[in-house]
Amino acid sequence: MERKKELKQQYKETAIEAGIYQIKNTANDKVFVGSTKNFKTLNGVKFQLETNTHTNKQLQQEWDHFGKDVFNFDILEKLKKKEDPYFNEKEALSELETKWLEQLQPYGEHGYNKQKSL
């Protein structure tokens, strides 16, 4: 019981950090690139995949087919927050995600992301 309290306290004390993450399928090297305002929510993403409720159907199908053990969750970059009163976290996070999407090109046979139409 004491361990549970420790873990709960540790979770509460962990700083809320935003940034970009990837889910990589090590069986075929395909990746999904995503952004989050709080890296703690990655447990929720895993839960969605494990309960067959993730919104990315292709990622979900391959998770079901290959199993969770071939997928790695990695933080690609943490958002550096600025003290500027005009700093827009949502906009900055979107720009950071665009940078990583352009760099990794996780589309088609290389990944699970859908290209955004202009």
* 3 state DSSP class of 31: strand
Supply 90's token pair. 């949502």
pTM of the shown model: 0.84
Res 118: pLDDT: 57
Dump pLDDT digits (tens) for 29-66.
999 999 999 998 999 999 999 999 999 999 999 999 99
* 3 state DSSP class of 35: strand
Q: Give the count of alpha carbons within 13 A of 111, CB side only.
A: 18
Supply 78's token pair. 């943490």
User: Is the pLDDT reported for residue 22 higher than 70?
Assistant: yes
Res 5: pLDDT: 81
Dump pLDDT digits (tens) for 72-95.
999 999 999 888 888 899 999 999
Radius of gyration of the chain, Cα coordinates, nearest whole angstrom? 16
What are the structural domain ranges in the chain? 16-96
In CATH, which of 3.40.50.1100, 3.40.1440.10, 3.30.360.10, 3.90.470.20 is domain 16-96?
Answer: 3.40.1440.10
Res 14: pLDDT: 67
CB 21 within 8 A of CB 43: no
